[in-house]
């Protein structure tokens, strides 16, 4: 995550002085980066935690395709929400069209349009789950022009100051958990050798993404709030499942087992179980 932040600062400098062709290339790379995030969230919401996002392809200056390794099923509501969030956060252009193609049949099975410039959207057929298939997401950027995601030169100093202020809010503690904040909003946490993006349910280790489910993300958020401290089973059940009206000890054990496997890539982290009492996230982060 720190590397990503440094890369974005570099992009800001380059965009201030580069030629239009270079700016277009950089913006294309930024869009592809955000589209990969859309793809990861799409798979996560579809309960596919193992498939890979294949390289993003760009068929023309305004059209991108997201391809997936394996077949899966999906609910259109989740895809619409993911794209709307990306547009609202200015990660993608404000006017775009999304089509979902079934590659085995070479047919478009679902599509919608978002136009924040006119505050209008064309989003049909919500609430209808789609069967398992080999799907491709095609995103068309309507009326896209170079500079749409760039920072104007007059605002460049302010943007750089904002980035510096964010970096200065990088807070470390002795328990191996580091919190990256912008004012009072947590952007991500550094846990051992991993970065945890709780807003997008994503872990990263050496630039390799590890996708979490919503429940796994909630559990990890609670555990890292009190590293190396025992947290009772009753507290975890109440905090994670109370709003759903479901209290199952077996569900807790299953999700923590899955979370433990995803953290296993970092030997400095370990979730331990104190039988009949609760769980503890043990941290032993190396100090560089």
Q: Any idea where the domains of the chain sit in the sequence?
A: 2-141, 169-283
If you average pLDDT over residues 240-245, what whole number do you get? 64
pLDDT band at 150 (very low <50, low <70, confident <90, very high): very low
Which is higher by pLDDT, 119 or 276? 276
Q: What is the pLDDT of residue 232?
A: 92
Q: Collapsing DSSP states into helix, strand and coil, what is residue 95?
A: strand
Which is higher by pLDDT, 86 or 148? 86
Which is higher by pLDDT, 253 or 156? 253
Residue 34 has pLDDT above 50, yes or no: yes
Length of the chain: 288
Condensed to tens digits (0 to 9), the pLDDT of residues 35-59 reads: 988 888 888 877 777 778 888 888 8
If you average pLDDT over residues 215-225, what whole number do you get? 89
Which is higher by pLDDT, 275 or 158? 275
Which is higher by pLDDT, 2 or 104? 104
DSSP strand pairing (194-197 vs 185-191): antiparallel
If you average pLDDT over residues 89-96, what whole number do you get? 84
If you average pLDDT over residues 269-282, what whole number do you get? 89
Quote the CA–CA distance of 101 and 67 in Å, as a whole number. Answer: 10
Class of domain 169-283: mainly alpha
Neighbours of 38 (CB within 10 A): 22
Quote the CA–CA distance of 22 and 18 in Å, as a whole number. Answer: 6
pLDDT band at 146 (very low <50, low <70, confident <90, very high): very low
Mean pLDDT of the chain: 75
pLDDT band at 78 (very low <50, low <70, confident <90, very high): confident
Radius of gyration of the chain (CA): 21
Contacts of 229 (CB under 8 A, 6+ apart): 280
Residue 262 has pLDDT above 80, yes or no: yes
Condensed to tens digits (0 to 9), the pLDDT of residues 172-196 reads: 444 566 655 554 555 567 888 888 8
If you average pLDDT over residues 121-140, what whole number do you get? 78
Contact (Cβ atoms closer than 8 angstroms) between residue 95 and residue 140: no
DSSP bridge pairs for 208: 205
Residue 231 has pLDDT above 90, yes or no: yes
In the Cβ-directed half-sphere of 180, how many Cα atoms lie within 13 Å? 18
């Amino acid at each position: 995550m720190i590397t990503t932040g440094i890369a974005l600062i570099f992009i800001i400098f380059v965009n201030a002085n580069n030629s239009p062709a270079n700016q277009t290339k950089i913006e294309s790379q930024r869009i592809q980066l955000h589209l990969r995030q859309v793809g990861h969230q799409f798979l996560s919401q579809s309960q596919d935690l193992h498939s890979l996002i294949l390289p993003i392809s760009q068929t023309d200056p305004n059209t991108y395709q997201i391809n997936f390794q394996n077949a899966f099923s999906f609910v259109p509501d989740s895809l619409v929400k993911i794209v709307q969030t990306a547009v609202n956060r200015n990660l993608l252009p404000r006017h775009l069209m999304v089509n979902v193609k079934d590659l085995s049949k070479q047919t478009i099975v679902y599509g919608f349009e978002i136009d924040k410039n006119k505050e209008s959207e064309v989003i049909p057929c919500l609430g209808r789950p789609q069967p398992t298939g080999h799907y491709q997401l095609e995103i068309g950027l309507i009326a896209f022009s170079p500079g749409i995601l760039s920072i104007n030169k007059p605002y460049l100093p302010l943007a750089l100051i904002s980035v510096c202020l964010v970096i200065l809010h990088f807070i470390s503690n002795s328990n191996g958990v580091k919190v990256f904040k912008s004012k009072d909003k947590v952007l991500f946490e550094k846990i051992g050798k991993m970065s945890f993006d709780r807003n997008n349910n994503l872990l990263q280790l050496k630039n390799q993404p590890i996708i979490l489910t919503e429940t796994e993300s909630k559990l990890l958020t609670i555990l890292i709030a009190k590293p190396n401290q025992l947290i009772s089973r009753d507290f975890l059940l109440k905090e994670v499942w109370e709003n759903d009206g479901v209290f199952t000890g077996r569900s807790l054990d299953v999700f923590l087992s899955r979370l433990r496997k995803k953290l296993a890539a970092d030997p400095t982290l370990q979730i331990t179980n104190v039988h009949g009492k609760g769980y503890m996230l043990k941290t032993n982060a190396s100090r560089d």
